[in-house]
Chain A
């Protein structure tokens, strides 16, 4: 501001000051102050609201708002100091009661004071940026009562002690507790947090740390979990009874941390009662409790999952590698299924059907089933067993159930093509010997395999079924065409099998007896006459025959034998005794098969239609065989089985393996070519990775084999190595 210029004359402003009684403000305030005293002293009945309201109004109107406000703060403060003293003086248990009573009174007084000062609250306070009366009253209560040095710690200790007493089982006055804590929450700022919640959480952490230590020393895992669950529920209930809802998450965190997180490894691995024991003993309740408690803490569920996984892998490994358990394939697979059922039930009952647990279970099974290279064979044998006899008299739904379980195991297999090989063999045997129980079940399984692995996987299996059907029709046609021509001869049933659809076996033919040969030739003529351009060859190793035989004492039997055995027995129509070499010469049956046939004809008790010299278990090349006139059997029909290996023998296994490997070669090559055609240039590691990915639905290709296939393709000029970077391959179109 610039300095005022010197003026020659001055005009006095016309001042007309309205002079209010100088003592007016003081007098009015005294009235109001007195009223506030009376309100605090429960003596308000003599007060006139209208008068007090008008006085407060007038003070604000005449610009004494500041004085009114300051007076209010002072008066209320002095009253609160008095109240503080009376609360401090309260002894023992009365302390909280007194605090609660005074708080209720203060609230009521505050409401009345606010009523009187309503006009100030509405006009003066907003424009002067003061704290509104109600909030002011709460703030003063906080500063003078709660934060008073003699009350603050005492209040905190009292509240915490009550909680502690409740934890040890005493009954406390929850209503009072609720009121006091509600008061702390009503006060602005972080009064509740600072004066109650924070120390409460600290004390609770201490308490549960000590208690958990005590529990873990003397309880087993199941009991510990029960106690922890109980404590957790107690705390949640406590919060709902008399604390701020926001505290629930915090206190449960504390309990979770102290009771569960700090001890979770010890709990899971506890001797004789830990997770593994619970799994073994199917303790669904305990497991469920463990799951629901552990899912509250970080890394809780992964811990359970890891322990469960390693446990399953361990028992699975034992199961698939124990030579004792490998003796019976059906039993072996049944054990796998039982193990799967057991753990499925645990996951559904106790682990809330948790997806991650299901995945862990699946990966564990996948891991150990593939540890045993014979798993595909065994699973196929299991199916074979079920489809041969196991499903008799079982309802359709149950059949489906069994098949679904088998499919589940099938899914775990890495070498699905090996399974296919065995399945095909077993299916062929079932079909040719007419042993399938249910066509529907067979087809249903094939449909399942098709959805799982695609059309290619099952096309040949379906072809086998078609062949069976066609053969039936062909035979009908044959007999209709021949009519009386062949009525006298033996009845011939031919199954025409498409080459390729069926498991190929070395077609070692034998010399058929002339009676049979005649009918066979007729059939050949008939068949080639109706289907031109085809070739028929006889798979004598797979046929069966029913023979009628009359023994020494005139007793008649029907012998059910294989084609080979039939050939041998027919020789004895013309001779009573024959040497091994003679039989071999006459029939030309391969030595191994011949020995097996003779063994079953001569060495099995109750089925020994032939007699061998010398009498021994094994067939030697210089043995001699005689028609056993003394043969006796209770049954009219005698089934002479070949000694067929149910399980494959070691050399057969090698052979199958060989064939599987051989079949894989073109598949791997096809995959390589497909990939390279799309990519043109690719390095070795990526090819291996992509081939593995493409083929993993059928089998897990060996990288060494892939490498060999790549080399072979380079040799045949499908691919070439990059001239600069030897790790790169190029596709040659």
Chain B
């Protein structure tokens, strides 16, 4: 018998499956099979009797193949949701998720699905979660989707206008919202992604007094800090810093005169340099202000603004106007984009430099759609992404060559997009719809 000792006969919903304990062990100890074959339970593999499992045999076949091959193939006759439910029973949901789509590669993305929501008005922001879920901010509501794209209870912060949202971990979302005059509501809150409950509300104190405030752009650091641009009632503008574990405010960087921090559109934590990139951009302000803050020394270590930049003619002004900015630590530079999707670069190592524009896509000029969306930038593992109207461009290599373009036919311009959990989410502005782009699992050979 020797080799047969490993053999297991399972009767799943009346259908007999023969497999090996080794295959089932791939499920891990924290699964139905891991427990079932643990020595505490007197179930010796190789025993002649069948083990009955009162579950759907078709789904089990798919999951058994998943354990055997590591790959997931869902026949068309099985609804995905049913399979997910069975996977949850066996404790195999994580296996399914990681086999569902491959590691992210901006040049191999395929449109996986489009989700249409019911929210009125324009979308504000879309944010990818760490395990493939996402949240979409519309007006004063944030809709949350898990990686199976099931919608969970929506989130709101006193029904105030949401400015930004972000994931702290796979079950925690932070929302920043406008303050309503005199009510003391709005600000920033921490929510459970699965239940939508408000777990914590972050306070801002100035001179030991709790003040109400409007929270703007958000960023999270690797050492458990939350940053948000803040505007207070009595001109307390600046960047607030909170501790993720205690929820307490631990710092506040006040806006220096003739500069803008509290209105910032974009915050980006730079892990390598321990600095925060703060960018306030047109049209929120008439000018653009980009700066790097070092909180340890309470210093602005790098700054750039287009105030006083030479204006040759009106047309050129738009061309030189920065619409989004992103710091790229690997090359110590900041990438900016104008409204014609021209990329520009600045050196982070010296302050007071100017933007080197790479005039690449003048083609866009003149054929703008009726309701244009301003470009947005994202960086993911050495690939640079830029959204423009109804498409997203992917740039690679040291010279940022355009390598791919993602476009879908309906939904209008893309107002925001986000990359995370090996997925790219793109939110359209005209209709309440967002797309999920995934990299297919690696080829068989």
Contact = CB atoms under 8 A, between A and B. Distances in A.
A111 B91 contact: no
Contacts of B194: 126-127
Given A50-B52, A54-B54, A118-B32, A44 B40 contact: yes
A49 interface: yes
Interface in B79-119: 88-89, 91
Most buried by B among A44, A112, A115, A126: A115
27 contacts: A44-B41, A44-B42, A47-B41, A49-B35, A49-B41, A49-B43, A50-B36, A50-B51, A50-B52, A50-B53, A53-B36, A54-B54, A57-B89, A111-B40, A112-B41, A115-B35, A115-B36, A115-B38, A116-B35, A118-B32, A119-B89, A119-B91, A122-B91, A123-B88, A126-B194, A127-B194, A127-B195
A108 interface: yes
Interface in A92-140: 108, 111-112, 115-116, 118-119, 122-123, 126-127
Interface in A42-60: 44-45, 47, 49-50, 53-54, 57
Contacts of A108: 40
B30 interface: yes
10 closest A-B pairs by CB: A115-B35, A45-B42, A49-B41, A112-B40, A49-B36, A50-B53, A54-B54, A127-B195, A127-B194, A57-B89
Contacts of B41: 44, 47, 49, 112, 115
Contacts of A47: 41
A123 B194 CA distance: 11
B131 interface: no
Nearest to B31: A118
Nearest to A114: B35
Contacts, number: 45
B171 interface: yes
Q: How large is the interface on B (under 10, 10 to 19, 20 to 34, 35 or more residues)?
A: 20 to 34
Contacts of B38: 111, 115
B192 to A, nearest CB: 8
A123 B195 CA distance: 12
Interface of B: 30-32, 35-36, 38, 40-43, 51-54, 88-89, 91, 171, 194-195
A53 B40 contact: no
Nearest to B54: A54
A514 B89 CA distance: 132
A60 to B, nearest CB: 10
B28 to A, nearest CB: 11
Contact of A115 (B40, B52, B89): B40
A50 to B, nearest CB: 6
A108 B40 CA distance: 8
Contacts of B42: 44-45
A44 B36 CA distance: 13
A24 to B, nearest CB: 15
Interface in A33-91: 44-45, 47, 49-50, 53-54, 57
Given A53-B36, A111-B40, 19 more contacts: A44-B41, A47-B41, A49-B41, A50-B51, A53-B32, A53-B35, A54-B54, A57-B89, A112-B40, A115-B40, A116-B35, A118-B32, A118-B35, A119-B88, A119-B89, A119-B91, A122-B88, A126-B171, A126-B194
Say what secondary structure dominates the interface of chain B. loop
Contacts of B35: 49, 53, 115-116, 118
Interface residues of A, number: 19
Nearest to B42: A45
Nearest to B37: A49
Contacts of A119: 88-89, 91
Interface of A: 44-45, 47, 49-50, 53-54, 57, 108, 111-112, 115-116, 118-119, 122-123, 126-127
Say what secondary structure dominates the interface of chain A. helix
Nearest to B10: A50
B169 to A, nearest CB: 12
Nearest to A122: B91
Nearest to A128: B195
Contacts of A115: 35-36, 38, 40-41
A53 B194 CA distance: 24
Contacts of B91: 118-119, 122
A162 B432 CA distance: 72
Contacts of B31: 118
A115 B38 CA distance: 9
B155 to A, nearest CB: 15
Contacts of A122: 88, 91
A510 B89 CA distance: 126
B171 A50 contact: no
Contacts of A111: 38, 40
A44 B38 CA distance: 13
A60 B245 CA distance: 31
B15 to A, nearest CB: 15
A560 B30 CA distance: 108
Most buried by A among B35, B51, B194: B35
B395 to A, nearest CB: 40
Contacts of A118: 30-32, 35, 91
A47 B43 CA distance: 10
A112 B41 CA distance: 8
A119 to B, nearest CB: 7
A505 B41 CA distance: 111
A128 to B, nearest CB: 9
A111 B31 CA distance: 13
Contacts of B36: 49-50, 53, 115
B411 to A, nearest CB: 33
Nearest to B89: A57
Contact of A50 (B40, B54, B88, B195): B54
A118 B90 CA distance: 9
Nearest to B30: A118
Contacts of A116: 35
Most buried by A among B41, B88, B89: B41
A53 B53 CA distance: 10
Contacts of A112: 40-41
A49 B51 CA distance: 10
B98 to A, nearest CB: 16
Contacts of B32: 53, 118
A509 B258 CA distance: 92
B244 to A, nearest CB: 18
A478 B82 CA distance: 124
A258 B54 CA distance: 68
Contacts of B171: 126
A132 to B, nearest CB: 12
Nearest to B53: A50
B36 to A, nearest CB: 5
A533 to B, nearest CB: 68
A110 B171 CA distance: 27
Contacts of B195: 127
A37 B91 CA distance: 25
A111 B39 CA distance: 11
A112 B31 CA distance: 13
A116 B54 CA distance: 15
A262 B93 CA distance: 63
B208 to A, nearest CB: 32
A109 to B, nearest CB: 9
A47 B91 CA distance: 21
A53 B89 CA distance: 9
B306 to A, nearest CB: 48
Contacts of B53: 50
Contacts of A44: 40-42
A41 to B, nearest CB: 14
A565 B194 CA distance: 118
Contacts of A127: 194-195
A111 B34 CA distance: 12
